[in-house]
Amino acid sequence: QVQLVESGGGLVQAGGSLRLSCVASGSAFSRNHCGWYRQAPGKQRELVAGISSGGTTNYLDSVKGRFTISRDNAKNTVYLQMNSLKPEDTAVYYCNVGGRYSSGKYYRSDYWGQGTQVTVSS
């Protein structure tokens, strides 16, 4: 059973940056694909970025060029670097680990972090 602990959220002004971290338990992290999702109030949860075990990445169109997903297998950690933040990026961000990576896209597992709030003011 995978346990995920997220951190790094907060309040930032438009144009600012945040780095989210997700630490996973277990010894199989390096073989797992990972993804970051977000959910704003009244909206469905959406995939923001995915990364395969081999390092292939995919992104939501609206964050391309601004967000970067990466991983450090030695630390069992997946990151989401968020630059040039916009008010529409405001949401709770969730880490997901152990899903599928198919046709250049990440597909979720049932293993979620608790979520971390990101608020971008204008």
pLDDT for 2: 84
State the DSSP code for 3: -
**Phi and psi torsions of 63, nearest 5°:** -110, 0
**Phi and psi torsions of 106, nearest 5°:** -85, 140
pLDDT for 26: 83
Q: Please report how many Cα atoms fall inside a 13 Å half-sphere around the Cα of residue 9, on the Cβ side.
A: 20
Amino acid identity of residue 75, one-letter, is K
pLDDT for 102: 96
Strands (E), the chain: 4-7, 10-13, 18-24, 33-39, 46-51, 57-59, 67-72, 77-82, 91-102, 105-107, 116-121
Per-residue pLDDT of the chain (122 residues; tens, 9 = 90+): 789 999 999 999 999 999 999 999 988 999 999 999 999 999 999 999 999 999 999 999 999 999 999 999 999 999 999 999 999 999 999 999 999 999 999 999 999 999 999 999 99
